[in-house]
Structure 1
Amino acid sequence: MADHYDVLGVDKSATPEEIKKAYRRLARELHPDVNSAPDAEEKFKAVTHAYDVLSDPGQRRDYDRGPQQGFPGGQGGFGGFGDIFETFFGAQGGSRGPKSREERGQDALLRVEIDLGEVIFGTHRDLEVDTAVVCETCNGSCCQPGTSPVTCDICGGSGQIQRAVRSLLGNVMTSAPCGTCRGYGTVIPAPCVTCQGQGRVRARRSIPVDIPAGVDTGLRLQLIGQGEVGPAGGPNGDLYLEMKVRHHDIFSRNGDDILCTLEVFMWDAVLGTTSSVTALDGDIEVEIKPGTQSAEIITVKGRGITHLRGQGRGDLKIGVQVTTPTKLDHKQKELVKQLAKAHKYPAPNLGHFQQGLFAKLRDRFLNV
């Protein structure tokens, strides 16, 4: 590692004032924003590090004694460089070159409603989206056709303006974005009249989307690169689809299972029967076994919702509700009386309070 005194060009007996003057002179000459030589930045770092050490009495004393006394030499000694560099030359002092006009577009969020029946196998949508698209007139260049950006004559295309600022070390050069070109390094003399020099316009476009089976309310699907196009024709952001499954009057959902209830008249529950019911994906033959009770669950395997991640489907679970007829003619009443006489049931008696049908169905649905 080069000797700090040699780096600053002073003798070992130099006073603090001489060290400060030497540093100020070299800093102005070697600052990366004023010196384009390939090794200017490294020399500037070395000068700053040398001054950082020699301007502090304690560190200078340790340095003069040599590394065997524990002085943190080598590259590890640059601990204070960042703070000094930022204090005197600004946070952007090390940045060079103009910035690009192209920027990534914003992400967009769209809410999509689908029916419960569409969730079983998935569905297709052609979504109409009002978003930013590339300007067809200038194709994202921001310029009127036949023209192009020109180099900014204020910053010379660097996108930065250098200013002399007084500090503890005297006048030092700082850099800031050019106010004329806003840091781009170029200006647009003839902006596109269609997009007003933005390179993009608002338009309505159609996006085909395959919504997978098994989605549920609140789930978000990410469509990469389907969001807004960025300024100056920059890359598109992403489009997020937030799903909402519409309420169904008959069927409900529990995970990937579909739930519903089936009303069965008393004599069908007693004798048993077969009933054809229309599910979300077609007709199903449901067998009512003799002696079926209210709140029993009939499970039809594989007729639920297709699993979102994986193969197979959930089940269709049908809760039975046995209904008692309320209007019987004379002949029907006589038949019921004959049945009652032929089949001696115990007299009604008190028992533990039982929850209602729907509560029992809920508990059984969740535990079947």
Structure 2
Amino acid sequence: MARDYYEILGVRRDASKDEIKKAYRRLARELHPDVNPDPATQERFKEVTQAYEVLSDEEKRRMFDMGADPFAPGGGGFGPGGFGAAGSPFDDIMNAFFGGQARARRSPRERMRRGRSIKIRIELDLAETAFGVDKEIAFPTAVLCSTCQGEGTAAGTSRTTCGMCHGHGEIIQEQESFLGRVRTSRPCPQCTGMGTVITDPCPDCAGEGRIRERVTRNVEIPAGVEDGTQIQLAGEGEIGPNGGPRGDIFLEIVQRPHPVFERRGDDLHCTITVPMTAAALGASFTFETLDGTEEIDLRPGTNSGHVITLAGKGVKHLNGGGRGDLMIQVDVETPARLDEEQEALLRKFAELRGEDKPPGKFSPGHGGLFSRLRDAFGAR
């Protein structure tokens, strides 16, 4: 355990948050390395900062008051989020005193920055999403300038040190305030924080180190993708300024509607219409799937709504083995118009099955089933 944090800040054990904060502000103003660089003072400043971090946090303060270690695993500390890290509990105070630049002077900003990522929409047919496909895509992007190889300077020249910031990439200013002398820094406006400038830019890229071109890429679309799937091509996007690393390409899959099949996950669904006689007597017919022609057997007495399942004839599973199924729903079509011979045959069929006068509203006095059908369609 460290020393008594209340003693370090010079506050009572029942001190309020405001009192703790005021005590820390007073000590930080005296001890901060930008004000007093003496090594012993810096150690004292770290100790004060640690005390403030504990006492300004309710949970850590409670642990300390109970005699526990507030920097035990799960309790924070001087790792990420601890002393000197962005977002730490004393950051706001440091910003108030030193303009957000209380720490050591920054290095110049890197000239090479990562390029932008690109989003490209690719339209695919159902078969292409089901089985995968190789596609050639063309798109405008930023590529390395072949004249200067990303340096941005004309042939025979190079970057020079910025005369405004002398290569530091930032401008330091000091001014007096009611808190004392306050130092602030900002990126150098002449070199934009890089520390160097181009006096003679490349004529092809105007100092950017890259140019825009329309390029083509061959991409492999895996089997099983669906509408809305995104595929990341790492490092295939725009090259960064001054030869910086490339961004990424994100391919967004758009699946075109299919005239027959509806996709639901990795299963395919469709509906076929069969005549009433085929449903009653049974039939065989050919059906075109994504894999080719299949022979389908319709068993006698099939009702409308019956589903025929062709296992493994759906879409391939993405990043895995196997496939979904093909589900064929049967829709039995009842004839809407009958000629005299057809009607006579159906009446005879109904008599043979005892269905010419079924019970209910079609019972005697209400006319037979086929009489009602005839009346309904006779006026057409």
TM-score, length basis structure 2: 0.68
Deviation per residue, 1:205-237 (Å, 9 max, x gap): 112221122222222222211222211121111
Q: Which one of the candidate residues 42, 47, 56 is aligned to 1:45? A: 42
2:153, 2:198 within 8 Å by CA — same for their partners in 1? yes
Partner of 1:238: 248
Structure 1 residues 328 and 124: alpha-carbon distance in aligned structure 2, compared to 1, 3 A threshold: same
Q: Which of 202, 205, 216 does residue 206 from structure 1 map onto?
A: 216
- Larger mean CA deviation between 42-51 and 87-96 belongs to 42-51
Distance in structure 1 (CA, Å) of the matches to 2:267 and 2:34: 70
Gaps of 5+ in 1: 1-19, 53-74, 352-368
Paired with 1:189 and 1:207, the residues of 2 have a C-alpha distance of: 36
Which residue of structure 2 lines up, in the alignment, with residue 90 of structure 1? 99
> Displacement, 1:343?
3.4
SS of aligned partner of 2:228: coil
Equivalent in 124, 136, 151 of residue 126 of structure 1: 136
What residue identity is the alignment partner of 1:222?
Q
Mapped to 1, the partners of 2:319 and 2:218 lie a distance apart of 21
For 2:256, give the aligned amino acid.
R
Q: Distance in 2 between matches of 1:44 and 1:182?
A: 34
- The secondary structure found in structure 2 opposite 1:217 is coil
The match for 2:327 is 317
Which range moves more in the overlay, 212-221 or 276-285?
212-221
Other-structure match for 1:273: 283
C-alpha change, 1:77 and 1:273, in structure 2 (3 Å) is closer
Q: How far 1:309 moved relative to its partner?
A: 3.3
Kindly provide the amino acid, as one letter, of the partner of residue 286 in structure 1. Answer: I
What CA deviation, in whole Å up to 9, does each residue of 1:160-198 have, x standing for no partner? Answer: 233332234655654332222222111101111222211
Quote the residue 1:177 is aligned against.
Answer: 187
Range moving further from structure 2, 149-158 or 324-333: 324-333
CA contact (8 A) 1:31 1:41 kept: no
Partner of 1:106: 116
- Alignment of structure 1 residues 268-347 onto 2, 5 Å: 268-326=278-336, 332=342, 334-345=344-355, 347=357
**1:111 and 1:77, CA in 2 relative to 1: closer, same or farther beyond 3 A?**
closer
**1:282 is aligned with what amino acid?**
G
For 1:58-97, list aligned pairs within 5 A. 85-94=94-103, 95-97=105-107
Question: In the alignment, which of 236, 254, 269 is matched to residue 259 of structure 1?
Answer: 269
Give the corresponding residue for 2:373: none
Give the corresponding residue for 1:139: 149
Is the partner of 1:156 in helix, strand or coil? coil
1:141–1:338 distance in 2 versus 1, CA, 3 Å: same
Cα–Cα, structure 1 residues 93 and 41, in superposed 2: closer, same or farther, change >3 Å? farther
Q: Deviations over 1:261-307 (max 9, x none)?
A: 12212222222121111112211111111111111101111100111
How much has 1:130 moved relative to structure 2?
A: 1.5
* CA–CA distance in structure 1, aligned partners of residues 345 and 256 of structure 2: 46
Percent identity over the alignment is 42
Q: Unaligned stretches of 5+ in structure 2?
A: 1-25, 50-77, 362-380
SS of aligned partner of 1:140: coil
Q: Secondary structure at the match of 1:45?
A: helix
CA RMSD of aligned residues (A): 3.5
* Equivalent residue, structure 2, for 1:218: 228
C-alpha spacing 1:102/1:43, structure 2 compared with 1 (3 Å): farther
Aligned residues: 300
TM-score normalised according to structure 1 size: 0.70
Are the equivalent residues in 2 in contact too, given 1:45–1:81 (CA < 8 A)? no
Q: Is the 8 A contact 2:100 2:184 kept in 1?
A: no
Structure 1 residues 102 and 349: alpha-carbon distance in aligned structure 2, compared to 1, 3 A threshold: farther
